[in-house]
Structure 1
C-alpha cells in the first residue's frame, strides 16, 4: 500500500495511506511551557481512520499522543505537569522543574512509496536554559499492510549527557510512589479506549481491562498489546508496543525496562526505563533504545499479535 508524505516545514510531517492520515509528527512546540514543550505524534490512526491517540486530555493536559518523556531527571521534569516530590508532599506545581526538548533539525529524511525514515537532532533543555542532553531520534513508518489492516512505527533514541555531572533518571516510584514508574516513550490513548483489554505474550487468553493492567504493571516482556472498542462506530483497534531485542539484553541495555500500563482510569502505556530504580548516565556517555508500535484495525488476540511481530524484522 503506497504512502504519501507531506511536510509543513517548521511544523509537522504527516504520513497518509489510502486517503487516511496515519500520523502527524509535530515538532513545532506547543505554547505552554508547563506541559514540557517537545515533539510528539498526534493524531495517530489505523488504516481505516480510527483515532488511537489522545491530545491534551482534561485529566493530564501534558499527555500528547506518543511522545518521549523523562518524568524524573536530576530534579527536572521532562514529562510535563505537576512534579512528584515524595510521599510527604505528593504532586506539586513546580514550574521551575519543567524542562523541554528543542528540535534542532533533521539530519536525514527519506520517503519512498513504502517507507518514511527520518533522523532528528534534539537538545534536552533544563528550565533555566542549560543544555543537558543531546538526542538523535529516529522514526520509521513501514509495513503498511492493507490486507492485515495494520502498519508499523519504529522509534529510536540515542541520548548523550552534555553536562559535567551524571544525569540521573528516575520515576515517581523511585521517588516514593508505589507502582507509578512512568517515564520514557509514552502513549496516551483516546478516552473511548478506556477499559480496553491489556495482554502480553504469556498465558492462553490473558486478563483484560483492569485485571490486565494490574497483572502487567511493572513487569518485563518483549511486547504488550492494548485493544479497545471505539465510540460512535462498531469497531475496535489494537496497538502493540514492542522492544527491540537489545532493549531487554542486560549486557547491552543501560538499564532494565518495565511496562507502565493503565487501562483505567486512563488508557496509557509507557516503555519505562527507570521504573523501580534510578540509573545514572556519566558525562559524555550515551544510551540507546529502539521501540516499535504496531497500529491495527480490529481486536487482535495474542496469537495474531505474535504472528505479526514475527513477520517484521528489526
Structure 2
C-alpha cells in the first residue's frame, strides 16, 4: 500500500512539474525548449553559423499543437515552398547595418549580395520557468564580414500560454560598440516569422522559386488546397495590400488541420518608427520593419537612415499573440493601449 501511495505521489509530482511554462536548456543540442502545461510551444535554437546565421525561435506551435511556422529547410513538409532558405522560424535582424546584410545571410544562398553579417549567440544570462510565464534572457554579437562585433544584443523573451492562446514578448536591446552603426533604409527587416503553408495567401499567378541549390523552378500555379491565410491591419487594410503600410498591429487568420488560428504581431508605442511599416507578403513572410520609411513607402516618406552612436543603445519591443479561434480588433487595440506610456 505504501508503495502504491508513493507511486501515485511520484505521478502527481511529475504532472505538477509539467504545469505552467517550463524552460529546459539542452546545451548539447544548443536549444532551450519551451512547453506550456507539458505541451511543446517553441524552442530558442542557436546551432551556430555552420547551420544558421542567427539564433531563432523554431518551431512555433499553436495551443492546438499545430505548427504556425514553415518546416523547410530545417524539417521539410510536403507541399511547402522551398524559397528563401534564410527564412527560419521567428527571427530579428536587418538588411543593411553599416553596409552589411544580416537578413539574407545563409549557407544556402550563393553568388549574390553581401557583404554579409552574422549574429552569433554568446550566452544565456537567465532562464526562469513559472506558473504563469517563462522568461529567457540571451546575448548575441552582430559580427561584420571579418568577424568583428558591430552590435551587442541582449534579448529577453517572455513566454505565456492558456488553453486557447500562446504569447511571445520579445524585448531586444542593441548596443553599438566602438563606432557608430547606421541602419540604412532597407526593406529587409526586422522582426519576422516564416509561416506554414496553410497560413499563406492563396496564389493565383505563376511564380518562380529557387531552392537551396540555386535551382529555379517555374510553377504555373500553386496548389491552394488548405491555404487560407489573410492579413488584416489595425487600419482596416486586408490581404496582400498591407505590404508597405503602417499599422499598430497586424493579424493573420487561417485554418490549420481544422484549427482556426490567429497570429497577431503587435508593435509597441515606445519603439522607434512607431507605428511600424509591414513587410508582409502573401507567400508566407510576415515581418514588421520600423527603420525603412522611404523604401517601404516607395519614396513617399522621408528616409530615416537611423544612426546609433558608439556606446549607445536602442530597444525594440514586440508581442506575438497566437490564438486558437478568433481575436477581435478591439482586443488587439486594447493591448496596444495598455502599452502606451
Same fold, judged at TM 0.5 (above): yes
What SS does the aligned partner of 2:35 have?
strand
> Counterparts of 1:51 and 1:73 in 2: how far apart (Å)?
32
Give the deviation of 1:256 after TM superposition. 4.8
Once the two structures are superposed, the pairs formed by residues 133-144 of structure 1 within 5 Å of their partners are 133-142=151-160, 144=161
> Counterparts of 1:258 and 1:66 in 2: how far apart (Å)?
17
Counterpart for residue 235 of structure 1: 259
Structure 2 residue aligned with 1:167, among 181, 184, 191? 181
Counterpart for residue 122 of structure 2: 104
* 2:124 aligned with 1:93: no
What SS does the aligned partner of 1:134 have?
strand
What SS does the aligned partner of 2:62 have?
coil
Once the two structures are superposed, the pairs formed by residues 65-144 of structure 1 within 5 Å of their partners are 65-81=89-105, 93-94=111-112, 97-142=115-160, 144=161
What SS does the aligned partner of 1:72 have?
coil
* 2:170 aligned with 1:155: yes
* 2:329 aligned with 1:302: yes
* 2:57 aligned with 1:41: yes
Runs of 4+ in 1 over 6 A off after TM superposition: 308-314
> Counterparts of 1:242 and 1:124 in 2: how far apart (Å)?
25
Structure 1 residue aligned with 2:284, among 253, 261, 266? 266
Once the two structures are superposed, the pairs formed by residues 166-205 of structure 1 within 5 Å of their partners are 166-172=180-186, 181-195=187-201, 196-202=229-235
Root-mean-square deviation (CA), in Å? 2.6
Deviation string, structure 1 residues 203-231 (Cα, Å, up to 9, x no partner): xxx45333xxx1x323333211111222x
Structure 1 residue aligned with 2:246, among 209, 212, 220? 220
> Counterparts of 2:41 and 2:135 in 1: how far apart (Å)?
15
* 2:242 aligned with 1:209: no
What SS does the aligned partner of 2:270 have?
helix
Deviation string, structure 1 residues 127-146 (Cα, Å, up to 9, x no partner): 2111111111111112x221
Contact 2:33 / 2:42 at 8 angstroms: preserved in 1?
yes
Give the deviation of 1:185 after TM superposition. 1.2
TM-score, structure 2 length as denominator?
Answer: 0.73
Give the deviation of 1:111 after TM superposition. 1.4
Give the deviation of 1:107 after TM superposition. 1.5
Counterpart for residue 176 of structure 1: none
Contact 1:133 / 1:163 at 8 angstroms: preserved in 2?
no
Deviation string, structure 1 residues 234-284 (Cα, Å, up to 9, x no partner): 22211111122311xxxxx3x455232434233422243334222111211
> Counterparts of 2:317 and 2:59 in 1: how far apart (Å)?
21
> Counterparts of 2:339 and 2:36 in 1: how far apart (Å)?
19
Unpaired segments ≥5 residues, structure 1 = 83-90, 173-180, 248-252
Counterpart for residue 175 of structure 1: none
Unpaired segments ≥5 residues, structure 2 = 1-18, 74-80, 202-228, 295-302
Question: Aligned pair in 2 of structure 1 residues 291, 133: CA closer, same or farther (>3 Å)?
Answer: same
TM-score, structure 1 length as denominator?
Answer: 0.79
How many residues are aligned here? 276
